Structure 1
Amino acid sequence: MYKGYIQIYTGNGKGKTTAALGLSLRAVCAGKKVFFGQFIKGMDYSELLADMYLPNFKLKQFGRNCFIKNNPIREDIDKAKIGLNICKKVLFSGEYDIVILDEINIAIYYNLLSVKEVIDVLKNKDKNTEVILTGRYAPKELIDIADLVTEMKEIKHYYKKGVKARKGIEN
């Protein structure tokens, strides 16, 4: 029988969302259905067009059209709560084989959501649904319940030389 595991991609290096998108591509090409929920993101990223090219792929954003610098506002919290409720329904439904909670760790880090809220959702997910949680600062409580944890570590990055995000590479 198939079991859906819990995976975490965390760390300060580039590639967490990219890895989750790569896994999504692989899954869709294998005939699986993917739901990709982006927390704290409301900006125009290239992956927003993925459902035009990939059958069985759905992406929804739960954030404002800006980065949270230090202090989230009420709207950030409301969007994260709405997002978690939508993802909860998706995770409980069994309709999707894979559900990605992109930047959920950052939503927890900024206190938009509590670790307990997220763990309660994960504990009650459909047993066959694979879940991937991304974002820096994965809390220990999530790491403890995960089946796979990958830490992306920055060694060198061209951002430090002033290179801006490039369409199709970083956004």
Structure 2
Amino acid sequence: MGFVHVYTGNGKGKTSAALGLALRALGHGMRVYIAQFLKGMDYGELHSLKRFENVTLERFGRPKFIHGKPDEEDVRLAMEGLNRCREVVSSGEYDIVIMDEANIAVFLGLFSVQDLLEVVAKRHERTEVVITGRYAPEELIDVADLVTEMVEIKHYYSKGVQARKGIEY
């Protein structure tokens, strides 16, 4: 039986936790699908995941941050990703489906929480679904089986340290 995980909060480690779960599953020969919303930049996991046979990673974002209101291209890419996830979660082809930063996509209005909940509801009975990102909507938290909130207690960003290759990206 597949469960729904939500990794949220303002602390570091949401994507890292999801990728750690993926790594564990891959070690057992499981199949993993990862959809990254809003992440078009060059992240280290893109290079690492290419080394595994049972993982598919698709990206649905541009190589820039959204500042202010998202434009039509941002919405189009997010909806393309959500529709792809709808196909993937119901197919039974993958043991784990990770929707990285889907919570942020909802927060920014790229798709609705109802759209996201419909995808989750259509999952294959044995497919584990993991949704990451800050600002997880209450409606998603209510249907999730596991919710972890990463809380920032202290971060070196406050000292002016910029994102570092291999650590933050």
Aligned residues: 169
What is the letter of the counterpart of residue 94 of structure 1?
A: G
1:5-84 alignment runs, 5 A limit: 5-84=3-82
| DSSP-derived class of the 2:10 partner | coil
- Per-residue CA shift, 1:112-169, capped at 9, x if unaligned? 0101111111111111000000000000000000000000000000111111111111
Aligned 8 A contact 1:92 1:124 in 2: yes
1:36 aligned partner, one-letter code = I
Q: Which whole-Å CA distance do the structure 2 matches of 1:169 and 1:134 have between them? A: 18
Q: Distance in 2 between matches of 1:58 and 1:49?
A: 12
What is the CA distance between 1:55 and its match in structure 2?
A: 2.0
Q: Quick one: which amino acid aligns to residue 11 of structure 1?
A: G
Percent identical among aligned pairs is: 57
Find the residue that maps to 2:45 and give its secondary structure: helix
Q: What CA RMSD, in Å, does the superposition of the two structures yield over aligned residues? A: 0.8
What is the CA–CA distance in structure 1 between the aligned matches of 2:101 and 2:49, rounded to whole Å? 20
Residue 86 of structure 1 and its aligned partner are, at CA, apart by 0.8
TM-score (norm 2): 0.98
Residue 166 in structure 1 maps to residue 164 in structure 2: yes
Q: Indicate yes or no: 2:154 matched with 1:156.
A: yes
Equivalent pair of 1:50/1:57 in contact (CA under 8 Å): no
- 8 Å CA contact 1:5, 1:146 repeated in 2: yes
Is 1:120 the equivalent of 2:97?
no
Secondary structure of 2:50's partner? Answer: helix
Pick from 91, 94, 97 the counterpart of residue 93 of structure 1: 91
Unaligned ranges ≥5, structure 2? none
What residue is the counterpart of 1:104 in the other structure? 102
Q: Distance in 1 between matches of 2:62 and 2:51?
A: 25
